[in-house]
Amino acid sequence: MKTQRALSLSSCVLCVRVLVALSGLPVRADIDADLRAGGYADVEGAMLGGGALVNLEPSNQWYFNPNVEVVFPDDSDVVTVNGDFHYDFPATKVAYWVGAGPAVRFEDPDFGDDDTDLGANLLAGVGARRGDVRPFGQFKVLFADDPEAALMVGVRF
């Protein structure tokens, strides 16, 4: 089970790298990484994840945030691959954002069939705007066949 979860996490990190490389979006050189942890309410599981934060334009208000989250409920493994975009409201020291994006949710229950759902995320967050390490918090709702709400904290660097 631990080997399977480690392989799932490695696959997720690779997916994020591929999403960033293939995005082909006109971006500045500002690409940061993020690590996140939190929980998903419906499956009642802890979550670990990571992603990239890609600045899409010079005003520093539009971002592409592809990410992968691995959820560890008791009776299955759940992985989400997300292509989130968000808008940062103008502010000085604190960033506030809202966003949305496509999502793919994979579930591998201990018993029963695997399930893959396409969906969409709606999200809102707050975090430090400047610094080498910037903490953040985010609330997300994933709309799919099995909707999920997630609350997470993390750091960007």
Q: pLDDT tens, 122-141?
A: 999 999 988 899 999 999 99
At a CB cut-off of 8 Å and minimum separation 6, what does 57 contact?
28
Q: What is the DSSP string of 40-104?
A: ETTTTEEEEEEEEEEE-STTS-EEEEEEEEEEE-TTEEEEEEEEEEEEEEP-SSEEEEEEEEEEE
* Structural domain range at position 124: 2-156
Give the whole-angstrom CA distance, residue 105 versus residue 69: 9
Q: pLDDT tens, 1-11?
A: 444 444 454 55
- The CATH number of residue 24's host domain is 2.40.160.20
Q: What's the structural domain count of the chain? A: 1
State pTM to two decimals. 0.77
